[in-house]
Amino acid sequence: MSSGLRESLKEELRERALASGFVACGFTSADPLDCGGLLDGWLAQRRHGFMDYLARDRGRRLEPRASLDAAAGVMVAAWPYAPPPPPAGDWRATLTGRIAAYALGLDYHTRLAAELDRLAAFIEERTGAASRVHVDAGPLVEKELARRAGLGWYGHNTNILTRERGSYVLLACLLTEARLAPDPPFAEDHCGTCTACVPACPTRALDDGPTIDAPRCISYLTIEHRGPIAEHLRARMENWVFGCDVCQEVCPWNEAGGAAVEALSPSLPELLAIDRDGFRDRFGATAVARAKRRGLARNAAVALGNSGNPDAADPLERALRGHDEPLVRAHAAWALGAMGTVAARIALERSRPEAQAPPVQREIELAVARLRRTGAAAAVSRSR
């Protein structure tokens, strides 16, 4: 294919991508990525938490051709999503959770893969070249590919920031055997001296570099982390039950949120009590399914504990005494203890004689002990 035809195909691909809803599209080579040192340091510090697959696939993440042997280039496209709406009223009074804005609607993996599949078919029709689609589901460092393809720069919140939509974009990659001229990489850093996102992070997961301390990140804790959430981080999660938008909401490059969206502010008692069929029907086709039913219920229990609302005691006690997942029962016990109300202590005392899994029993005992200490302190304070 001549250079003129290659450039024509490249621009037609860009036009088609923008016409289908992407807000930016760039091209880069399939050569190995040069961010191996940064990745290795991050892995060595265990900042990836329990995502051990990141270490296992380390080599493949830096080598696009590991996913398509004859790949010559990579098209990277950015799909926009609506900025997160402001919190819907007093969540502690209404007992509502928060879901990250990108998770609204059909799972983005499915939606964006369908769009890129159409572009892959177009490439094959025009050139006979094979292509492979990646939408946040394969061993590629998509953010570095996006920077190299000229889409944007690394923000201090570790997201790729674009001139078009800030960080409210989802990245999708199309590896192709077609030879397409690469675009210039994005070399500038338009964050400058702004670090608004770093102190805004509720769990202090950010620093001044392009990587994040995943085990402290609310998105990691509510989605990727499958076990008990570290106790010292639970109160900082407030009412986030899937993902977190805080570091994006404070970014000057991002638009302010619009009207409230009910789907992003679910009822916490409903999430805590949701059964398998209900979870599948409500979330099965969305990104929220990644957290799984027990993870979402665990997160709802933590948020209910953070509410301090006495109305949360009944749903938490029902979960403590009857939920089928010990992980959820354990976090319900913590939540009752965190509420610090008389009703919460009564609920915990009622549950103590019941046979419970060791992790659940431990959380019950810790919560009861904490309530006794705080109750004694309150009594001393009142006596003065």
| Cα–Cα distance measured from residue 182 to residue 6, given in angstroms and rounded to the nearest whole number | 11
- The angle that helices 342-351 and 313-322 make with each other, rounded to 10 degrees, is 10
pLDDT beneath 70, residues of the chain: 1-6, 375-384
CB 48 within 8 A of CB 54: yes
Q: What is the pLDDT of residue 384?
A: 32
Strands (E), the chain: 24-29, 73-80, 98-99, 131-134, 153-154, 160-161, 169-176, 240-242
Instruction: Give the residue among 69, 58, 70 at the shortest CA–CA distance from 33.
Output: 58
- Determine which one of 31, 57, 136, 207 is catalytic: 136
Q: What is the pLDDT of residue 379?
A: 34
Residue 101 half-sphere exposure toward CB, CA atoms < 13 A: 25
207 is an active site residue? no
In this predicted model, what pLDDT tens digit does every residue of 30-48 receive, in sequence order?
A: 999 999 999 999 999 999 9
Q: What is the pLDDT of residue 5?
A: 59
Q: What is the pLDDT of residue 354?
A: 80
Q: What is the pLDDT of residue 176?
A: 97
Q: What is the pLDDT of residue 1?
A: 57
